[in-house]
Structure 1
Amino acid sequence: MADYAHLKNGSDIRGVALDGVPGEAVNLTEQAARDLGAAFAVWLADKKKKATGALTVAVGRDSRLSGPSLLTAVSAGLRGAGVTVYDCAMASTPAMFMSTVLPGHGYDGAIMITASHLPFNRNGLKFFISDGGLEHEDIEALVALAAGELPSGGDGGCRQVDLISDYAAHLVEKIRAGIGGGEQPLSGFKIAVDAGNGAGGFFATKVLAVLGADISASQYLEPDGSFPNHIPNPENEQAMEAIIRATVENGCDLGLIFDTDVDRAGAVDAGGHEINRNRLIALLAAIVLEDCPGGTIVTDSVTSSHLAAFITDELHGVHRRFKRGYKNVINEAIRLEKTGVAAPLAIETSGHGALKENYYLDDGAYLCAKILIKAAKLRAEGKTIDSMLADLKEPAEAAELRFKIELDDFAPYGKQVLCDLEQYVNTQPGWQMAADNFEGIRVNFTEAGQRGWFLLRMSLHDPILPLNIESDDVGGAKKIAQQVYDFIKSYDKLDLSPLECYIR
């Protein structure tokens, strides 16, 4: 009996799909993909109250080298259960969700084969129905089903569909309607797109070019799962340097960058300034709150104090700082909406951003569409997109350090560190526990020379304690780091070398 519990990763399946990295044996095999496909058929039949033979499921992949073989295997598992498969070939994660709701598609379910920004040897599966992505408990159920008796021998058919073109056309119409300026409302804009050789190249050729934009400065649009130029990840320093360079050297009005499967994005203004992390959240908050005055913006736990002030004081919205994890912030926004609280945007600093108007789907391409609509309207007023961030203050210093917990059973140890820190905070003069924190321990400092904050938390899935620090004073971050070190240095199962190096 197969046991695929090791492939669970929150609300996804992830594993090693290719040989080539020492110490990383393949565990997301074609057999595993086949079994998980069949298990999804069983789960979906129960959810939809249909026979498996009456189900339709779309399957797509990003540019990873293992994508084609895993897509074939997943499709075989579905077809063996009697499901009709719609093979979307190269697609984005948001497009695969949209396959359950777009006119002309509307499948019962969808599976995307991706591991987001992880290295070339990894891959995974994301599962969707029209209500959204599956939750953690749904993945638990799938893994349990995959370990049991599965239907096989069915004769479900397979049809090829060009989903990404239909999805791109959907975005084109959204942008046209938002700008209200004819067939090519982006004429006169020069926009660089960096797809990092992932699945996002379509945004340049099938969206921007159709809308009249000059995309000649775009780069790395061709899918290549070896990722030869840089990691497709807006949080990666090399990746951001690449899109900044392309934007500035080619005199572009805007630069856009996507992760591998296009559920995250970042941007660059004409001056080469990043619109990423807190700045991306601030920009999107400014855009959505124009149509939802006083609305609540849900973010993860590591957002800046200055971002919170920008949302509340400048935009007159409400900031809800919640837990890390894109599903956490999305589900919190959905929960707030159900209680009557308007929550138009749920977004992580990683670039996962979901809007209520778009099914609360974390969709990097849709976020870029919103930015483009606003940029076009601002141009008509003689303004540029960076004008919306003029009142956002930036910290003088920021750092993120990660401490590995050197234990197999790491969770209890990490939780004990945080429990001890909570008690320690109360004994330290000048330390103020943040009132609006839902994850880890966040402490504010107001003393001159070290004004700022730190957050120590547990990683969602890994044996890691990440430490985030921001300070409004030059040299202040190291002063805060030293005080954290004074507390944490006695924990001998933590690798504190990143903190020690930073202080030195």
Structure 2
Amino acid sequence: MNHIDGQKLQNGSDIRGVALEGVPDETVNLTPEVVQTLGNAFVNWLAQKTGKPTTELSVGIGRDSRLSGETLSQAVIEGIAIAGSQVHNFDIASTPAMFMCTVTDGFNCDGAIMLTASHLPFNRNGLKFFTPQGGLGKTDISEILAIAESAQVIKEDTKGKITRDDFISVYAAKLVETVRQGVNHPHNYEQPLTGLKIVVDAGNGAGGFYVDKVLKPLGADTTGSQFLDPDGMFPNHIPNPENKEAMAAICQAVVNNQADFGIIFDTDVDRVAAVDAKGNEINRNRAIALISAVVLQEHPGSTIVTDSITSDGLTKFIEQLGGKHHRFKRGYKNVINESIKLNNSGTESWLAIETSGHGAMKENYFLDDGAYLATKLLVELAKSKLQNKSLTDLIDDLEEPLESEEFRLKIKIDNFKAYGNNVINRLQKFANIQDDWLIVPNNYEGVRIACNSPTEKGWFLLRLSLHDPVIPLNIESNVAEGTNKIATRLLEFFQDFDELDLSSLSRS
């Protein structure tokens, strides 16, 4: 087992690296040998946390459709088995399913690993780790990497048992039952989606199971569903609900097939976006509003936790429904942990959701599960049909911005965090002396400014990226050319910062 550079492999609460040759200047650092070491380190870590010997541990392994997935999955299985632990090989699965194998009777794995790099290019891969308490955090990953770096290899005389199991069918069956119970159709309990045409775009990732194992048993017509077959080259579009080409593909599929609803997953199915019967996107603020409306019907007064770049119109919408909007930080783990924290302190929060499509519900272990969110929306779709209504009637009152833009300003020096924070601090001082700009209170990252001029009527948020030498700038406006007016004023302010690449803003 070879040397591991944990600093290069850790990406927050995940491990990610280059698994295949083929991209210039990207050297492979996530080799089978490295992954085998990481598997062994994980059961070592699990043994320390649970107090069980490794020979009494069981671990579930799943992967998405990436080209390197099968080879790396065999490597991680070997690393676990040589420690004497039992391995359940689930082959192609979803990230949420991997958590569920730790809390599902008949499996109850002590831990699980998903091999995925979400929507990143074909040459990348990574590992996500779970225990019955949820996805591991940044500190946990650092501990596992430290074990791996120290080469504390556990090797038993007898390898652990390796079985190949179909867990995705078990996971899907629970989603099917969620719809049946949620709709409680008076005449067709078993197939409450009969008469509805629903198309799915899996982007050649791991989400293709949703058609055959969830929708068809519920009676849905899935004609027109596309890119369901796993293909690690992702030949049709990037499997990412935030990608414009991907969203255009599912919107067109809904229109072409005259479908009632469209669903698009990312590669490992922890994110989702949707499309209504007219071919309109239901993502970002619209997706948050729709699932918030569902949650607030079930749990009146709940606090909805979102990331920092959600719109003012969303806040108004949630408050009109009797809920509370807690706008927190970017990063799906941040919003989930904040929602859990609120619940622990006595404030009911049933939904934590990010504009990227990551959404987690209290009723579902606070697991960011794209398939579960889609399933909750299908329940409302079927109930709406029974009442001769449209699902999107729920968000008729959502006020959406006329314009919305995101710019990513690159920082051209190594010490980018200090430089970026200085830019943000100086912008706060600048905003304080502008008559028509107001710093928004209770902001948890960067600086959010309300722009009250009649020619701007909007807001912007400037924050430092979690991992990259970038300052993302989000601007929204309710008037034509408003984002351009705000961007122009900011461009003038940024001229004093020589180490900022302003090219993206200059082209606006």
Q: Same fold (TM over 0.5)?
A: yes
Give the secondary structure class of the aligned counterpart of 2:35: helix
1:245 to 2:252 alignment: yes
Which residues of 2 match residues 140-179 of structure 1 at below 5 A? 140-148=142-150, 149-154=152-157, 155-179=159-183
Q: Which amino acid aligns with 2:462?
A: L
Give the secondary structure class of the aligned counterpart of 2:507: helix
Which residues of 2 match residues 373-452 of structure 1 at below 5 A? 373-452=379-458
Structure 2 gap ranges (5+): none
Which residues of 2 match residues 454-469 of structure 1 at below 5 A? 454-469=460-475
1:265 to 2:272 alignment: yes
| 1:125-160 alpha-carbon deviations (Å, 9 max, x no partner) | 000001100011001101101011221355112111
For 1:22 and 1:379, the matched residues in 2 are separated by 52
Give the secondary structure class of the aligned counterpart of 2:408: strand
Kept after mapping to 1: 8 A contact 2:411/2:500: yes
Which residues of 2 match residues 275-314 of structure 1 at below 5 A? 275-313=282-320
1:11 to 2:13 alignment: yes
Which residues of 2 match residues 115-264 of structure 1 at below 5 A? 115-148=117-150, 149-154=152-157, 155-181=159-185, 182-264=189-271
Q: 1:445 Cα deviation (Å)?
A: 1.0
Q: 1:422 Cα deviation (Å)?
A: 1.8
For 2:328 and 2:396, the matched residues in 1 are separated by 26
| 1:437-480 alpha-carbon deviations (Å, 9 max, x no partner) | 10111100112110000001111111111000000000010000
Kept after mapping to 2: 8 A contact 1:189/1:214: yes
| 1:276-295 alpha-carbon deviations (Å, 9 max, x no partner) | 00000000000011111111
Q: 1:3 Cα deviation (Å)?
A: 2.6
Q: 1:412 Cα deviation (Å)?
A: 1.4
Greater mean alpha carbon deviation, residues 92-101 or residues 177-186:
177-186
Kept after mapping to 2: 8 A contact 1:4/1:32: no
Q: 1:5 Cα deviation (Å)?
A: 1.9
For 1:85 and 1:449, the matched residues in 2 are separated by 61
Q: Give % identity.
A: 55
Kept after mapping to 2: 8 A contact 1:197/1:260: yes
For 1:344 and 1:111, the matched residues in 2 are separated by 26
| 1:226-249 alpha-carbon deviations (Å, 9 max, x no partner) | 000000000000000000000011
Greater mean alpha carbon deviation, residues 145-154 or residues 385-394:
145-154
Q: 1:409 Cα deviation (Å)?
A: 2.6
| 1:23-44 alpha-carbon deviations (Å, 9 max, x no partner) | 1111111111111111101110
Kept after mapping to 1: 8 A contact 2:200/2:226: yes
Q: 1:427 Cα deviation (Å)?
A: 1.8
Q: 1:112 Cα deviation (Å)?
A: 0.2
Kept after mapping to 1: 8 A contact 2:6/2:142: no
1:484 to 2:490 alignment: yes
Q: 1:323 Cα deviation (Å)?
A: 0.4
For 1:113 and 1:252, the matched residues in 2 are separated by 33
| 1:364-383 alpha-carbon deviations (Å, 9 max, x no partner) | 00000000001111111110
Matching residue of 1:99: 101
Matching residue of 2:368: 362
For 2:5 and 2:240, the matched residues in 1 are separated by 31
For 1:110 and 1:287, the matched residues in 2 are separated by 31
For 1:4 and 1:436, the matched residues in 2 are separated by 35
Give the secondary structure class of the aligned counterpart of 1:486: helix
Kept after mapping to 2: 8 A contact 1:85/1:157: yes
For 1:2 and 1:467, the matched residues in 2 are separated by 35
Residue 356 of structure 2, aligned match among 350, 358, 368: 350
For 2:94 and 2:482, the matched residues in 1 are separated by 42
Matching residue of 2:345: 339
For 1:335 and 1:409, the matched residues in 2 are separated by 32
Which residues of 2 match residues 47-126 of structure 1 at below 5 A? 47-126=49-128
Q: Which amino acid aligns with 2:431?
A: V
Kept after mapping to 2: 8 A contact 1:190/1:252: yes
1:24 to 2:31 alignment: no
For 2:235 and 2:35, the matched residues in 1 are separated by 26
Q: Which amino acid aligns with 1:160?
A: R
Give the secondary structure class of the aligned counterpart of 1:220: coil
Structure 1 gap ranges (5+): none
Give the secondary structure class of the aligned counterpart of 2:217: coil
RMSD: 0.9
